[in-house]
């Protein structure tokens, strides 16, 4: 259909055949993305500096429009403020109108960096106790609301300030309590109220960073802020684990946080947001995969300027190839409940020395169900020190163990439970040793009994090396994903193994040999960094 229409256009426009052909090349992904945008929307951001550098001229906007269409981007966020730079109204208005005329959805964005008095801690972060900072913050949002009906706030709306003004204002409160109260107040008094006064239609999105275990320490309060804002978004930028500057994050983190905030946000949950920094093509698209796998309705490619340089163009090219598969993946997971092992992180819970342990446990092939609360009726559970935030936790754990439900708890949590019956046969203690990264040292043989015990309620057994994740989607779909750089062999035992079939393999060019025998599904020679969705 697309080729046919392009051919007609080329004939009809005569002299403009060359131009027509060039434009037609970009249409297939644009058309597909428009067909699928209710399922999964692709967006990008023009930072305030990108607006100045790339959207100030007609040629610049032409190029940006073309790039977006070639990349399947149907929604653009155009930023008004970042790093104490305010984009010009006339430039913003012209860009907004042009993108709308081209058929894009258009929203605004604000990044609250270098606002007023700086904290002196994390670079570009502000002291919000300071009256001058507060007034500037209000002005930034009044300006944005005068231009856009939807505004995303990038993930710098927090504080680490410990100045004398903050110390005095804090009084007897802990820093956690003071900062959470302060940022909730800023949101209500200086952002939401003033923006809505300027533009009663405006919807404001709070985008949470990816560092969920430290949210409360710097004033992100996911309970109160999610209640206050119109929508939430999620940082899913895991980048490369081994990258010296940006590394240390595992791919499962994007999945855990997107699902965790997805539960907290419910219908307010928008999309996930990732960037190209410290990535290769392979790990860049893994971020997209994890975001979509976690049921995000949209994914934002941060940001136009960065995607034009360094690793950006190669990343984007790989993503374009993968988009049709990502739409399929979105279709497989959309609104289906995930089954598996309850993995609770109560909001504002302390991680102690088990920071981001969920991400690493997910990499072990244990299908987690990220959640904000401890439910003692769960069929199986993974519990870490985070669970202690729930004051009724000890009784809940006792009930789970009394009901013979398999429970995996960290050694750090066990240490804090003096009355724990360590001999209970439903209980397994996972040695994290205050270093979640050490879980990568567990061998296939060491993992086997842990997986078998935790998967028993689901009638399943998994045999795989470390860094192979398992996801149980709804009643008839499971996903196996290898993050290894070498081919791997995996086997799964479950009652419906005989009828299993491949529904999707990512990336394009990835492969796995599927065969079933005696209740076991063998996935042989699974190519590196490959996801396979299996329907049964
Ligand atoms: Zn301060």
Q: Which of left, alpha, beta for 159 (phi over 0: left; psi -120 to 50: alpha)?
A: beta
How many angstroms does the Cα of residue 130 sit away from the middle of ligand 1? 6
Cα–Cα distance measured from residue 304 to residue 51, given in angstroms and rounded to the nearest whole number: 10
Q: Find tokens 């309850």 and name the residue.
A: 342
Closest listed residue to residue 397, CA positions, set 427, 431, 368, 432: 427
How many angstroms does the Cα of residue 343 sit away from the middle of ligand 1? 36
Cα–Cα distance measured from residue 267 to residue 324, given in angstroms and rounded to the nearest whole number: 25
Cα–Cα distance measured from residue 75 to residue 342, given in angstroms and rounded to the nearest whole number: 34
What per-residue confidence (pLDDT) applies to 17? 43
How many angstroms does the Cα of residue 136 sit away from the middle of ligand 1? 15
Q: With 70 as the cut, is the pLDDT of residue 21 above it?
A: no
Cα–Cα distance measured from residue 495 to residue 65, given in angstroms and rounded to the nearest whole number: 50
pLDDT, one tens digit per residue, over 258-288 is: 999 999 999 999 999 999 999 999 999 999 9
How many angstroms does the Cα of residue 184 sit away from the middle of ligand 1? 16
Q: How confident is the model at residue 218 (pLDDT cuts 50, 70, 90)?
A: very high
How many angstroms does the Cα of residue 225 sit away from the middle of ligand 1? 21
* Tokens read off for 416: 């804090």
* Tokens read off for 419: 């009355």
pLDDT, one tens digit per residue, over 78-135 is: 999 999 999 999 999 999 999 999 999 999 999 999 999 999 999 999 999 999 999 9
How many angstroms does the Cα of residue 126 sit away from the middle of ligand 1? 7
Q: With 70 as the cut, is the pLDDT of residue 24 above it?
A: no
pLDDT, one tens digit per residue, over 322-357 is: 999 999 999 999 989 999 999 999 999 999 999 999
What per-residue confidence (pLDDT) applies to 27? 85
How many angstroms does the Cα of residue 514 sit away from the middle of ligand 1? 59
How many angstroms does the Cα of residue 194 sit away from the middle of ligand 1? 23
pLDDT, one tens digit per residue, over 351-369 is: 999 999 999 999 999 999 9
How many angstroms does the Cα of residue 129 sit away from the middle of ligand 1? 6
How many angstroms does the Cα of residue 118 sit away from the middle of ligand 1? 8
What per-residue confidence (pLDDT) applies to 259? 98
Cα–Cα distance measured from residue 481 to residue 370, given in angstroms and rounded to the nearest whole number: 18
Residue 514: strand, helix, or coil: strand
Q: With 50 as the cut, is the pLDDT of residue 4 above it?
A: no
How many angstroms does the Cα of residue 388 sit away from the middle of ligand 1? 30
What per-residue confidence (pLDDT) applies to 25? 52
**First and final CA of the chain: distance in angstroms?**
33
Q: Average pLDDT, whole number, for the chain?
A: 95
How many angstroms does the Cα of residue 531 sit away from the middle of ligand 1? 46
Closest listed residue to residue 212, CA positions, set 258, 251, 144: 258
- For residues 203-226, average pLDDT: 98
How many angstroms does the Cα of residue 191 sit away from the middle of ligand 1? 19
- For residues 441-465, average pLDDT: 98
Report the share of the chain in percent with pLDDT over 90: 95
Q: Are strands 41-46 and 75-82 parallel, antiparallel or unpaired?
A: parallel
What per-residue confidence (pLDDT) applies to 383? 98
Residue 35: strand, helix, or coil: helix
Report the share of the chain in percent with pLDDT over 70: 95
How many angstroms does the Cα of residue 358 sit away from the middle of ligand 1? 33
How many angstroms does the Cα of residue 518 sit away from the middle of ligand 1? 65
Cα–Cα distance measured from residue 525 to residue 319, given in angstroms and rounded to the nearest whole number: 24
pLDDT, one tens digit per residue, over 285-321 is: 999 999 999 999 999 999 999 999 999 999 999 999 9
Q: With 50 as the cut, is the pLDDT of residue 244 above it?
A: yes
How many angstroms does the Cα of residue 168 sit away from the middle of ligand 1? 9
How many angstroms does the Cα of residue 209 sit away from the middle of ligand 1? 21
How many angstroms does the Cα of residue 183 sit away from the middle of ligand 1? 12
pTM metric for this prediction: 0.95
């Amino acid at each position: 259909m697309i080729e046919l229409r392009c051919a007609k256009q080329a004939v009809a426009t005569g002299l403009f055949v060359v131009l027509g052909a060039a434009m037609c090349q970009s249409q297939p992904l644009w058309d597909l993305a428009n067909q699928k945008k209710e399922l999964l929307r692709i967006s990008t951001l023009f930072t305030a500096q990108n607006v100045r550098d790339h959207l100030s001229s007609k040629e610049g906007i032409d190029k940006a429009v073309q790039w977006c269409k070639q990349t399947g981007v149907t929604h653009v966020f155009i930023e008004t403020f970042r790093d104490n730079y305010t984009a010009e109204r006339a430039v913003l208005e012209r860009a907004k109108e042009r993108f709308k005329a081209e058929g894009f959805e258009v929203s605004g964005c604000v990044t609250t960096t270098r606002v007023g008095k700086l904290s002196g801690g994390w670079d570009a972060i502000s002291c919000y106790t300071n009256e001058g900072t507060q007034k500037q913050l209000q002005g930034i949002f009044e300006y944005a609301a005068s231009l856009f009906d939807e505004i995303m706030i990038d993930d710098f709306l927090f504080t680490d300030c410990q100045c004398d003004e903050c110390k005095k204002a804090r009084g007897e409160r802990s820093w956690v309590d003071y900062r959470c109260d302060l940022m909730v107040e800023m949101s209500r008094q200086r952002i939401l109220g003033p923006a809505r006064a300027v533009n009663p239609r405006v919807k404001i999105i709070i985008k949470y960073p990816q560092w969920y275990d430290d949210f409360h320490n710097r004033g992100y309060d996911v309970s109160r802020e999610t209640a206050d804002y119109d929508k939430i978004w999620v940082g899913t930028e895991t980048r490369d684990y081994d990258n010296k500057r940006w590394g240390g994050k595992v791919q499962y983190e994007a999945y855990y946080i997107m699902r965790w905030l997805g539960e907290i946000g419910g219908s307010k949950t928008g999309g996930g947001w990732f960037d190209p920094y410290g990535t290769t093509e392979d790990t860049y698209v893994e971020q997209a995969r994890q975001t979509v796998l976690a049921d995000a309705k949209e994914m934002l490619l941060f940001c136009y300027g960065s995607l034009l340089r360094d690793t950006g163009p190669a990343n984007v090219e790989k993503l374009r190839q993968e988009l049709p598969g990502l739409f399929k993946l979105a279709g497989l997971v959309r609104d289906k409940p995930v089954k598996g092992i309850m993995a609770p992180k109560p909001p504002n819970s302390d991680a102690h020395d088990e920071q981001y342990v969920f991400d690493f446990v997910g990499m072990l092939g244990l299908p987690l169900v990220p959640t904000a609360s401890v439910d003692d009726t769960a069929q199986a559970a993974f519990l870490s020190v985070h669970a202690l935030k729930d004051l009724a936790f000890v009784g809940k754990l006792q009930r789970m163990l009394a009901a013979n439900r398999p429970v995996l708890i960290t050694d750090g949590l066990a240490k804090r439970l003096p009355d724990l019956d360590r001999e209970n046969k439903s209980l397994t203690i996972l040695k994290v040793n205050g270093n979640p990264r050490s879980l990568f040292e567990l061998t296939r043989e060491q993992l086997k009994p842990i997986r078998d015990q935790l998967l028993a309620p689901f009638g399943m057994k998994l045999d795989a090396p470390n860094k192979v994740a398992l996801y149980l989607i709804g009643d008839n779909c499971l996903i196996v994903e290898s993050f290894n750089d070498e081919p791997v062999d995996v086997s799964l035992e479950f009652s419906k193994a005989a009828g299993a079939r491949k529904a999707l393999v990512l990336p394009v060019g990835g492969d796995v040999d599927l065969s079933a025998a005696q209740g076991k599904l063998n996935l042989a020679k699974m190519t590196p960094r490959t996801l396979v969705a299996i329907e049964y």
